[in-house]
């Protein structure tokens, strides 16, 4: 089980270019990919989206990409044809005005550095080759964080499912006394009203049978137990299970509401309220499960 929140960052310097990729994610019902990078690079978005979809199934993924020119101690990237053209233009300019133009090494270095600043991005093929592996590293870091967050969610979920099982068992135990208690209360009221009817009287038996049918929660408790088994099984899965969990929580909520509406015992009503509170806490956690 993975969380939908996470962050990953990676950087690499290659061929005089530094590439930095940041990937962050938050919860969403489906997968959304948003890419922040220069407009001239938008042709890369489909490939970036494919890389993201290969490792992430759900959440809003924000990708930020930077690629800038760097210089190392070994030298400066020089476009000789470009420099020759600039020097020729400057020499022609100086000749027309009768000026002496003798560029030295210091001038050439400054010119090369200034011209290098005009290079805003590498060519398309190189750009794709630079970004692809760095994006993969950032996504790997993102997934690692989502797995770590998911492990914490799993532990919390398993604990809460255990709490729901305990409450379900308590409800089942209290439900066993519903009919006997109702029968005793009915006979007491009849006695206080001066109606001495036998337990085997048809009218008494009919009333008790109707009550037993109305408050029978055997089916609901059986389905609750099954749903809780499925919820725990999903919690231990490594697959994307968030949507399935959300649907299952709706079914559990429906069953416990039916239990609450059928029961007339205060003890069961209290446990149903606790069950619903715990279920709501699980629902909040599941909203962040991939």
pLDDT per residue over 187-198, tens digit each?
Answer: 556 555 555 555
Least confidently predicted of 103-107, 135-139, 215-219, 283-287: 215-219
Check: CB of residue 22 under 8 Å from CB of residue 138: yes
Asked if residue 52 has pLDDT above 50, the reply is yes
The residue with greater pLDDT, 78 or 82, is: 82
pLDDT at 182: 53
pLDDT confidence of residue 202: 67
- Distance from C-alpha of 136 to C-alpha of 78, rounded to nearest angstrom: 30
- Least confident interval from 65-79, 166-180, 248-262: 65-79
Query: Taking Cα atoms as reference points, which of 53, 75, 50, 48 lies closest to residue 64?
Result: 48
C-beta of residue 18 within 8 angstroms of C-beta of residue 73: no
Q: What confidence tier does 175 reach under pLDDT thresholds 50, 70, 90?
A: confident
What is 6-71+121-146's CATH topology?
Ribosomal Protein S5; domain 2 (3.30.230)
- Tokens found for residue 67: 């690629």
Q: Which of 77, 236, 228, 80 has its CA nearest to residue 155?
A: 236
Question: Could you tell me if 65 and 138 are in contact, meaning their C-beta atoms sit under 8 angstroms apart?
Answer: no
Compute the Cα dihedral for 31, 35, 36, 39 and give only its sign.
negative
* Residue 120 pLDDT level (bands cut at 50, 70, 90): low
The pTM score is 0.71
Q: Helix, strand or coil for residue 24?
A: strand
Q: What percent of the chain has pLDDT over 70?
A: 80
Q: Is the pLDDT of residue 20 over 50?
A: yes
pLDDT value, residue 284: 93
What's the whole-number mean pLDDT along residues 203-223?
69
Alpha helices in the chain (DSSP H): 45-53, 80-96, 105-117, 124-175, 178-192, 202-214, 218-235, 242-262, 266-286
Closest by CA to 280, choosing from 162, 155, 150, 164, is 164
Q: Are 140 and 8 in contact (CB under 8 A)?
A: yes
Q: What is the mean pLDDT of the chain?
A: 84
CA distance 191 to 203: 15
Across the range 206-228, mean pLDDT stands at: 76
pLDDT of residue 74: 47
pLDDT per residue over 231-258, tens digit each?
999 999 888 999 999 999 999 999 999 9
- Fill in the DSSP letter of residue 75: B
pLDDT at 102 over 60: yes
Give the residue-averaged pLDDT of 267-287. 93
Higher pLDDT, 91 or 71: 91
């Amino acid at each position: 089980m993975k969380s939908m929140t996470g962050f990953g960052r990676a950087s690499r310097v290659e061929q005089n270019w530094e590439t930095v990729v940041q990937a962050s994610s938050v919860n969403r019902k489906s997968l959304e990919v948003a890419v922040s990078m220069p407009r001239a690079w938008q042709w890369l978005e489909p490939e970036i989206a494919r890389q993201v979809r290969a490792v992430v199934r759900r959440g809003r993924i924000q990708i930020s990409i930077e690629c800038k020119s760097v210089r190392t101690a070994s030298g400066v990237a020089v476009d000789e044809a470009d420099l020759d053209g600039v020097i020729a233009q400057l020499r022609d300019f100086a000749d027309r005005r009768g000026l002496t133009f003798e560029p030295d090494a210091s001038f050439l270095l400054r010119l090369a550095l200034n011209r290098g600043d005009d290079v805003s991005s590498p060519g398309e093929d190189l750009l794709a080759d630079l970004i692809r592996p760095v994006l993969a590293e950032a996504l790997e870091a993102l997934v690692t964080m989502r797995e770590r967050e998911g492990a914490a969610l799993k532990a919390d979920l398993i604990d809460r499912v255990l709490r729901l099982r305990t409450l379900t068992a308590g409800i089942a135990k209290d439900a066993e006394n519903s009919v006997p208690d109702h029968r005793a209360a009915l006979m007491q009221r009849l006695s206080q009203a001066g109606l001495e009817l036998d337990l085997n009287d048809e009218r008494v038996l009919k009333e008790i049978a109707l009550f037993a049918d109305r408050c029978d929660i055997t089916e609901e408790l059986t389905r609750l137990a099954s749903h809780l088994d499925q919820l725990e099984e999903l919690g231990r899965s490594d697959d994307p299970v968030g949507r399935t969990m959300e649907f299952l929580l709706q079914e559990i909520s429906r069953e416990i509401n039916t239990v609450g509406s059928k029961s007339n015992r205060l003890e069961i009503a209290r446990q149903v309220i606790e069950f619903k509170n715990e279920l709501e806490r699980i629902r909040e956690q599941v909203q962040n499960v991939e």
